[in-house]
């Protein structure tokens, strides 16, 4: 509508941006750069791509078995790591797609279900969700320090990011620096980092392809 809040904000920004022709914009992902270049508000301004960065001293590769032992995780199991700060059932986190992918994986006759453990950080124990999952699951809760987070990435055999809306997630950068393969959907800025060398980029909202990615890495 002409007078709704979004419209008023748009007109206010348009007026402001036109006032400063030397105004530049910076975006952390290639996807967001393209969004800005196509936006009516910003298409007449310069848009630069500067990815997010992290402290490499905090995230680095260590021996996987040692990381598992420190966290009291069985060394003979394949660990699938998933992170969702706050509510795990946030629709933007794509947990329903991960759940379906895991169920498809559990039905695969080539997969030994007893040798897989799902590790969830950022969320407290949820009995309802635990019962839905086909594999043994451990809820780590919110991680307050980078040392523990680095251990989690290193203990994992694969890090899953089924997000349906993602600009440029720091979690995928952290996993890459720990040499842990990533499986994510080709959505937003995920494809800036996830590729054949770093993991598996699944077709958007395709649970079967996501399951294939977990299995392949």
Q: Could you read off the pLDDT of 68-100 as tens digits, one per residue? A: 999 999 999 999 999 877 657 788 889 999 999
- Given a contact cutoff of 8 angstroms between Cβ atoms, the answer to whether 87 and 106 are in contact is no
Between the CA of residue 138 and those of 25, 31, 100, what are the distances in Å? Answer: 42, 34, 18
Q: What is the pTM of this model?
A: 0.89
Rg, the chain, Cα only = 20
- Report yes or no: 148 and 122 within 8 Å, Cβ to Cβ: no
Instruction: Note the pLDDT of residue 87.
Output: 59
DSSP 8-state secondary structure symbol assigned to residue 104: H
| Residues in the chain where the model's pLDDT stays below 70 | 86-87
Phi–psi pair at 46, nearest 5 degrees: -75, 140
Please name every residue paired with 83 in a beta bridge, in sequence order, or none if there are none.
121
What pLDDT digit, counting tens, does each position of 173-188 carry? 999 999 999 999 999 9
Query: Residue 52: is it exposed, middle or buried by C-beta count within 10 angstroms (0-12/13-18/19+)?
Result: middle
Give residue 206's pLDDT.
97
């Amino acid at each position: 509508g002409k007078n709704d809040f979004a419209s008023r904000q748009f007109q206010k920004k348009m007026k402001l941006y036109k006032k400063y022709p030397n105004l530049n914009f910076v975006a952390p992902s290639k996807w967001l750069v393209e969004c800005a270049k196509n936006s009516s508000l910003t298409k007449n301004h310069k848009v630069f791509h500067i990815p997010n960065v992290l402290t490499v001293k905090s995230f680095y590769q260590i021996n996987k078995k040692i990381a598992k032992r420190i966290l009291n995780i069985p060394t003979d199991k394949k660990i699938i790591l998933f992170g969702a700060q706050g509510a795990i059932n946030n629709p933007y986190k794509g947990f329903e797609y991960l759940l379906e992918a895991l169920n498809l994986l559990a039905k695969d006759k080539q997969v030994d279900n007893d040798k897989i453990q799902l590790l969830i950080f950022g969320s407290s124990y949820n009995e309802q969700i635990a019962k839905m999952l086909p594999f043994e699951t451990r809820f780590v809760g919110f991680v307050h320090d980078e040392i523990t987070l680095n251990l989690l990435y290193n203990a994992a055999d694969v890090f899953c990011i089924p997000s349906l809306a993602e600009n440029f997630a720091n979690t995928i950068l952290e996993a890459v620096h720990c040499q842990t393969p990533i499986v994510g959907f080709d959505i937003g800025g995920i494809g800036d980092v996830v590729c054949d060398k770093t993991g598996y980029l699944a077709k958007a909202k395709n649970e079967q392809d996501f399951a294939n990615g977990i299995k392949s890495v």
